[in-house]
Chain A
Amino acid sequence: MFGLSKRDAGLLFVVALLCLFAPFILNPFPEGSAMAQFNGGYPDLMQRLVIFGIFAIGFNILFGLTGYLSFGHAAFLGVGSYAAIWMMKLLTMNVIPAIMVSVLVAGLFSLLVGWISLRRSGIYFSILTLAFAQMSYALAYSVLTPITGGETGLQPKHTDPRILDGALPAGQSPRANLFGLDMKASTQLQLGDWVFTFNAGYYIAAAIMLVAFYLSIRIFRSPLGMMLRAVKSNQQRMNYTGLNSKPYTLAAFVISGMYAGLAGGLLVAMDTQVGAERMFWTASGEVVLMTILGGAGTLIGPILGAGFIKYMENIVSKINDNVLHGWFSFMPDGIENFMVTIIHPFVGKGWHLTLGLLFMLVVIFLPGGLVEGGQRIGNLFKRKKADPKSPDGTTTTPAE
């Protein structure tokens, strides 16, 4: 199907189903119940899940396949965002030109950065990409303020030219749309106590993510993907065989930069604003975390990692002491207070502590990320049932 092997097509199909039914899957608890705060099925979060999924898929094409660890990918996301917002200010609030131009501009920028940075490898490459990203961030904050809006960032205004759109009626704010379909439009479905929200912007972003995921599968299975994996396993040997690996790594770098630009354009399409903090190096670190947590070099890993981190970020940071007291109220008071004191540092504002610990544990014990964890658990069950003479006969090996 679509030039994919049966297993890859199955994977794509599963991801498509997950995207389609995400409003149900992420909203398993009835409205107003004690567990309702674990519901992640609201439009803003769902959009972020798929958009950062795209970002991580793109990063994985570079890091997972070639092993080049870029610490500056947020710059491409930021550049894409700025390009998109300017399209919205100058041309039209329709998201199609915004997204297309964001991919294009991020691609050009990553061509420049990649062309220079890929002269070095290892930690030098990481530092070079980091240097470029920090430069972009610093410039966006200071000198380029006329283009980037500096600290205040950019939003579409009523007075912008927007040559393709007709003049807006007075008092109506410009809204991102796809040929008139408002990105923020939602329909709600009420089933008993459950409320499910279906958001237009989310489904458009999810569709784009599926296309991006499909392309990444094709890249993984293509001769280019094979070449990139060869670069990761032994670049020196590649060079000795008389092969110039630079065009391949540069292609991977630009592709992943374009994915980052796409994610940036989509972020703007959803919330129509952008600020320079999107390019700060912690944002670059976050996409590294997502990819590693999910499983670098695997197809599904980055999506899992991005989804996991963004979901946990939203949910864990909402838990406060009152909620904790609610959970442990069945215990005697002393133990209840004790438990709350223990857990308190890790939730709410302490979310980053949890993230850091989780990340360390994954790097130490599970270098393959969540995907490897899943496989280990799967193997555990398989070994009990299956014939020991044919180990790993049907296990899915990660793409790496």
Chain B
Amino acid sequence: MDAILLQILNGLDKGSAYALIALGLTLIFGTLGVVNFAHGALFMIGAFCAVTFSKLLTLSHTIIDDTRKDFLGNPMKVDVPYIHEFVGQTTGDAIIDWAVPLSILFAVPVMIAIGFIMERGLIKHFYKRPHADQILVTFGLAIVLQEVIKFFYGANPIPTPAPAVFAGSFDFGAMLGFDPNTIIYPYWRLVYFGFAAVIIGAVFAFLQFTTFGMVVRAGMADRETVGLLGINIDKRFTIMFGIAAAVAGLAGVMYAPINSPNYHMGMDFLVLSFVVVVVGGMGSLPGAVLAGFLLGILESFASMSAILELIPGINQIIIYLVAIIILLTRPRGLMGRKGVMEE
């Protein structure tokens, strides 16, 4: 029982990342009808927003500290972040410690801007082209974005720690009445799951309860009629692209402490996210979220040692195996709508 619970918890953080990326992919596909292979790159750029923001916060200048001496007896040179001068030392250190959560504020406008530029500059011209062309051009864009990041940040992963408060793990088992030390779970992963749940809830609420969201949903169902009613649906879809980019970016920002960002993390997630979208059903938002968590949890179950002894290597292939089975038995995925991508 406790082992099962542990695997479900372990699957949640990866599942959250899958769900968030797949949600954005589905939003773009459902609104604009574009298969965006550059979405993983947006996730990666989000993670590097966190890196950039924490680098900016720790920009320092060197001062000479007369009270301390180095080993030669001279006054010691100390690097002091500029932020200490603005808000004082304690507040400054606290801000630096909380760099990753704070970089959300920095990442949202950046990601929305990147989304706008991508849609207006490139993807707009590909609505009428075949899906294969869309896949290919966004694949090329993904390579370019990835190489640009590699040029500026290097090829090595950059550790980006979470705030010290969340650094430890907590004993989940003891809380629920199991033996202590059986279910131990890092705080930050729990934060990530909560964050993902909030974002997913916000996106759904936005689509469900606002006039803007209602128009967008109407446009997804029948773009032409909405256009005939005198609504500029293209503009709204562009905004949705920006939002989808921001969702992917936020997923990346908060994932930075879990996995140190490197330039190819986007591609690693992209392939799996596409599998997730297809399993959930092209164009179905709840399907994408459901499949994201489902596959994340399945993956962590498959890496249990008891199962690995039974079927060696299953943890490497479980997601693809499930995808193949689902695609062959339920052609539209778990919750796919009729008539989407069936031509």
Binding site for B on A (CB under 8 A): 67, 69, 116, 119-120, 122-124, 126-128, 130-132, 134-135, 138-139, 141-144, 236, 281-282, 285, 288, 292, 345, 350, 352-353, 355-357, 359-360, 363-364, 367
Contacts and interface: CB of A to CB of B under 8 A. Distances in A.
Interface of B: 35, 122, 125, 129, 131-133, 135-137, 139-144, 146-148, 151, 267, 271, 274-275, 278, 282, 312-313, 316-317, 320-321, 323-324, 327-328, 331, 341-343
B135 A124 contact: no
Nearest to B155: A349
B137 A360 contact: yes
| A-B pairs, 6 with minimum CB distance | A143-B313, A356-B143, A138-B316, A353-B147, A360-B140, A131-B320
Contacts of A285: 139
A363 B136 contact: yes
A350 B327 contact: no
B141 A143 contact: no
B132 to A, nearest CB: 5
Contact of B274 (A127, A345, A367): A127
Contacts of B328: 116, 119
A345 B131 CA distance: 31
Contacts of A138: 313, 316-317, 320
A350 B144 CA distance: 10
B341 A122 contact: yes
A119 B326 CA distance: 12
Contact of A135 (B135, B321, B341): B321
Contacts, number: 108
Contacts of B342: 122
21 contacts: A116-B324, A122-B341, A123-B35, A123-B131, A123-B341, A124-B278, A128-B324, A131-B320, A134-B271, A135-B320, A138-B313, A142-B312, A281-B271, A282-B267, A292-B136, A345-B151, A350-B151, A356-B142, A356-B143, A364-B125, A367-B129
Contacts of B143: 352-353, 355-356, 359
Given A122-B343, A123-B341, A134 B320 contact: yes
A124 B144 contact: no
Contacts of B125: 364
> How would you classify the secondary structure of chain B's contact residues: helix, strand, loop or mixed?
helix
A359 B142 CA distance: 11
Contacts of A292: 136
Contacts of A353: 143-144, 147-148, 151
A132 B275 CA distance: 12
Contact of A363 (B131, B140, B316, B323): B140
Contact of B282 (A123, A135, A282): A123
B307 to A, nearest CB: 13
The residue in A116, A131, A236 that gathers the most chain B C-beta atoms within 10 A of its C-beta is A131
Given A124-B327, A353-B144, A363 B320 contact: no
A128 B327 contact: yes
Contact of A120 (B133, B327, B343): B327
Contacts of B271: 130, 134, 281
Given A134-B320, A138-B317, A288 B147 contact: no
A288 B132 CA distance: 11
Nearest to A356: B143
Nearest to B137: A363
Contacts of A236: 343
Contacts of B144: 353, 356-357, 360
Contacts of B147: 350, 352-353, 356
B151 A139 contact: no
Contacts of A131: 275, 320-321, 323-324
Given A69-B135, A122-B131, A142-B316, 19 more contacts: A122-B341, A124-B331, A127-B275, A127-B323, A127-B327, A130-B274, A131-B275, A134-B271, A138-B316, A143-B312, A288-B139, A350-B147, A353-B151, A356-B140, A357-B144, A359-B136, A359-B139, A363-B137, A363-B140
